[in-house]
Amino acid sequence: MLQCAQIHPIFNIEETKVPNPRKPLRLNVGFLVSAAAGYHRDFDFYLPKLTDEEDQTLTLAEVQGRVRISRTPQGLLVEGTFEGDIQLECVRCLSEYTQHLRWEFTELYAFTRDNITDSGLLVPEDAHIDLQPLVRDFGLLEIPIKPLCKSDCKGLCPECGQNLNLQNCGHAPENDSPFSTLKDWL
Ligand SMILES: [Zn+2]
Ligand SMILES: [Zn+2]
């Protein structure tokens, strides 16, 4: 394994260059299929934008990462480590902000149906695999269920709608106080 890394220390652009810029993560893995088990190769990626044609709102930006593809007896093991940014809306103050995401994944592209995993990935006959759906889908899994622009976001004033991160309108503390009901009585 160490030997392989020494022979091919870096991403070989010639071998993976593809004419279709819409599929920047499509790789020719033919040389890995014909390699001996145990062989691996690392691929580095940088993508200014990773968009889904169906849902343009979920665009990952500044995506960078590394994929290691290893030849195993059962298929090609793909291990990816990525990071990137996405624009989200804060659930408290409703403003748009940039959320940084990091994600990892491991998937096997099986040679035959006998070795197929739950993900159902097979090495296609033309030996070209497009990692875009994998990279994207695993990235989107990292989106927080309740996105917050910052952990201590003060949110909006329930009375006048003022963004309390920017300015204090003076309404909120009184409304939130447990004594506000008591004060009404007095
Ligand atoms: Zn916020
Ligand atoms: Zn207010």
Q: Note the pLDDT tens digit of each residue in 28-55.
A: 999 999 999 999 999 999 999 988 777 7
Instruction: Collect all residues with Cβ–Cβ distance below 8 Å to 31 and sequence separation of at least 6.
Output: 15, 41
Strands of the chain, DSSP E:
26-28, 40-50, 60-71, 75-89, 96-110, 128-130
- Give the global pTM: 0.76
pLDDT below 50 — which residues of the chain?
Answer: 1-19, 175, 180
Q: From the CA of 90, how far away is ligand 1's center (Å)?
A: 5
> What pLDDT is recorded for position 51?
83
Residue 8, class by beta-carbon neighbours within 10 Å (0-12 exposed, 13-18 middle, 19+ buried)?
Answer: middle
Q: From the CA of 159, how far away is ligand 2's center (Å)?
A: 5
Q: From the CA of 89, how far away is ligand 2's center (Å)?
A: 21
> What pLDDT is recorded for position 60?
93
Q: What is the mean pLDDT of the chain?
A: 84
Which ligand gives the minimal distance to the CA of 171?
2
Q: From the CA of 154, how far away is ligand 2's center (Å)?
A: 12
Q: From the CA of 158, how far away is ligand 2's center (Å)?
A: 7
> What pLDDT is recorded for position 57?
72
Per-domain residue ranges for the chain?
Answer: 2-153, 156-186
> What pLDDT is recorded for position 6?
39
